[in-house]
C-alpha cells in the first residue's frame, strides 16, 4: 500500500557536493520534518524500514531508477486474484480472461503510468514472458482455490496499537468463511503471495499476518461474525508447474506483543531520522543504488 502520509525526517541533503569527510558534515542540524500526529503508518513502510532504513528514506523522496520485475509481477498477479474474489463476492466465477485483464491493467499502471522501466530477470525476461507465466499461475490458482464464503476483498483497516503510534493502516487481501477439516467454521484472513519456489519458513513475513489479526480483532464488522479467526498465506509458485500452497500461521500471544513493539520502535527510528544502508539481498532489486552510493551525502530530493 502507499497510503501513508508519514514524511521522513531530514538526513543530510547536499546538491552534488563531494563526499563529506568530517563527522560534523554527516549530521548537520536537520530541518524539522517530524511527521505530524495526524499521520498514519503503513505496514509496508515498516517492513521496508526494517529491511533497509536508507532504502525506506530514499523511497520517500526519490523516484526509483527502475521497477524490479518481481515487484511489478507480484502486484499485477495480486490484481488478478482480487478480480477472482470480487467475482465470487458477486456470486459468480470469473473467467481467466477477466483475471488477465486485471493483471494487464495493473502492469500498465505501474510501468507506463509511472514512467518506470522494468528490470527483468532470467526467470521473467520480458513483458510477454510475464504474461505467459501469469496465465499459467492464474490458471493453477483458479483450479486450486478453496471454496469458501467470501466476506471481504481488500479490506482496509486503520488500527491504534500503542499510544505513541499513529494509526497503522493496511489491507487484508481476503476474509472468507471456511469450514475446516476439523468441521469448525472459521473466518480466514488470507494474504496472497507469489514465490519462485515452494515457500520456506524464512520466505514468509509472519508479522504481517499477526498485524492483520490484531486489526481484525478490533474491527466490529469482523467481530460481528462471532467466529474464530484463522490466518494463512496463499502462495502461488512460479515453478514449471505452478501450484497454490497454503501455509497456515498459528500465532502466540508473545509474538503479537513483539510485532507491536517492533512497529513502535521502527516508527520511533523513522521519526528520529535514523537511516543507514544495510547492503544485502534487497540491493539487486533496489532502484536507489545511485543515491545509496552517495550516502551519507544525499542529493537534493526530487519528487518521488
CB of 126 to ligand SF4, least distance (A): 24
* Selected range binding ligand SF4 among 136-144, 191-199, 211-219, 288-296, rule: CB under 6 A: 288-296
Residues 47-86 that bind ligand SF4 (CB under 6 A): 52, 54-55, 58
**282 binding ligand SF4? (CB under 6 A):** yes
Distance separating alpha carbons of residues 254 and 239, to the nearest angstrom: 35
Cα(80)–Cα(131) distance, rounded to whole angstroms?
Answer: 12
C-alpha distances in angstroms, 23 versus 8, 13, 20, 27, 270?
22, 14, 8, 7, 21
Give whichever of 157 and 288 is closer to ligand SF4, judged by the CB atom.
288
CB of 281 to ligand SF4, least distance (A): 9
- Using alpha carbons only, give the angle 51, 53, 58 rounded to the nearest 5 degrees: 115
Question: Is residue 51 reached through a cis peptide bond, with omega within 30 degrees of 0 on the bond before it?
Answer: no
Minimum CB separation from ligand SF4 for residue 277, in Å?
A: 3
- Of the candidate spans 129-137, 167-175, 250-258, 272-280, the one that interacts with ligand SF4 by CB under 6 A turns out to be 272-280
Query: Which range, of 66-74, 185-193, 245-253, 281-289, touches ligand SF4 by CB under 6 A?
Result: 281-289
Report, in Å, the least distance between residue 98 CB and ligand SF4: 36
Tell the smallest beta-carbon distance from residue 53 to ligand SF4 (Å). Answer: 8
Q: Compare residues 1 and 289 and give the one whose CB is closer to ligand SF4.
A: 289
Answer for which of 69, 288, 297, 298 binds ligand SF4 (CB under 6 A) is 288
Scanning 76-84, 97-105, 186-194, 282-290 for contacts with ligand SF4 by CB under 6 A, the matching segment is 282-290
Q: C-alpha angle with apex 112: 109 to 115, nearest 5 degrees?
A: 115
The residue among 270, 43, 248 whose CA lies nearest residue 157 is: 43
Contact between 279 and ligand SF4 (CB under 6 A)? Answer: yes
Which residue bears the cell 517492533?
Answer: 262
Strands (DSSP E) contained in the chain are 41-42, 67-68, 118-119, 149-159, 168-179, 185-195, 229-237, 244-249
Nearest CA to 149 among 81, 61, 88?
88
**1 touches ligand SF4 by CB under 6 A:** no
Among 30, 162, 223, 289, binds ligand SF4 (CB under 6 A): 289
CB atoms inside a 10 Å sphere around CB 144: 14
**Closest to ligand SF4 by CB, 57 or 186:** 57
The candidate with the shortest Cα–Cα distance to 81, out of 140, 158, 10, is: 140
Count of residues that interact with ligand SF4, criterion CB under 6 A: 13
Residues that bind ligand SF4 (CB under 6 A): 52, 54-55, 58, 277-279, 282-283, 286, 288-289, 292
Amino acid at each position: 500500500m502507499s497510503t501513508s502520509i508519514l514524511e521522513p525526517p531530514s538526513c543530510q541533503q547536499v546538491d552534488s557536493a563531494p563526499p563529506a569527510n568530517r563527522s560534523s558534515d554527516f549530521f548537520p542540524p536537520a530541518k524539522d520534518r517530524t511527521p505530524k500526529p495526524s499521520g498514519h503508518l503503513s505496514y509496508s513502510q515498516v517492513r521496508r524500514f526494517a529491511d533497509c532504513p536508507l532504502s525506506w528514506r530514499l523511497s520517500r523522496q526519490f523516484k526509483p531508477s527502475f521497477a524490479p520485475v518481481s515487484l511489478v509481477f507480484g502486484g499485477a498477479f495480486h490484481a488478478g486474484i482480487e478480480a477472482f474474489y470480487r467475482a465470487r463476492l458477486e456470486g459468480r466465477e470469473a473467467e481467466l480472461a477477466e483475471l488477465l485483464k486485471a493483471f494487464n491493467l495493473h502492469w500498465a499502471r505501474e510501468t507506463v503510468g509511472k514512467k518506470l522501466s522494468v528490470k527483468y530477470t532470467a526467470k521473467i525476461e520480458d513483458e510477454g514472458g510475464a504474461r505467459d507465466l501469469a496465465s499459467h499461475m492464474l490458471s493453477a490458482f483458479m483450479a486450486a482455490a478453496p471454496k469458501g464464503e467470501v466476506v471481504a476483498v481488500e479490506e482496509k483497516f486503520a488500527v491504534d496499537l500503542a499510544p505513541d503510534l499513529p494509526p497503522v493502516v493496511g489491507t487484508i487481501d481476503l476474509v472468507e468463511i471456511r469450514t475446516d477439516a476439523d468441521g469448525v467454521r472459521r473466518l480466514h484472513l488470507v494474504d496472497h503471495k507469489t514465490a519462485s519456489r515452494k515457500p520456506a519458513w524464512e520466505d514468509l513475513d509472519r508479522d504481517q499476518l499477526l498485524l492483520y489479526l490484531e486489526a481484525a480483532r478490533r474491527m466490529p464488522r469482523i467481530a460481528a461474525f462471532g467466529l474464530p479467526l484463522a490466518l494463512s498465506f496463499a502462495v502461488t509458485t512460479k515453478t514449471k508447474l505452478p501450484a497454490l500452497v497454503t501455509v497456515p500461521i498459528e500465532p502466540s500471544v508473545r509474538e503479537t506483543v513483539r510485532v507491536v513493539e517492533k512497529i513502535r520502535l521502527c516508527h520511533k527510528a523513522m521519526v528520529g531520522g535514523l537511516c543507514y544502508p544495510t547492503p544485502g539481498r534487497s540491493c539487486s532489486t533496489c532502484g536507489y543504488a545511485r543515491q545509496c552510493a552517495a550516502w551519507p551525502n544525499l542529493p537534493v530530493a526530487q519528487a518521488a
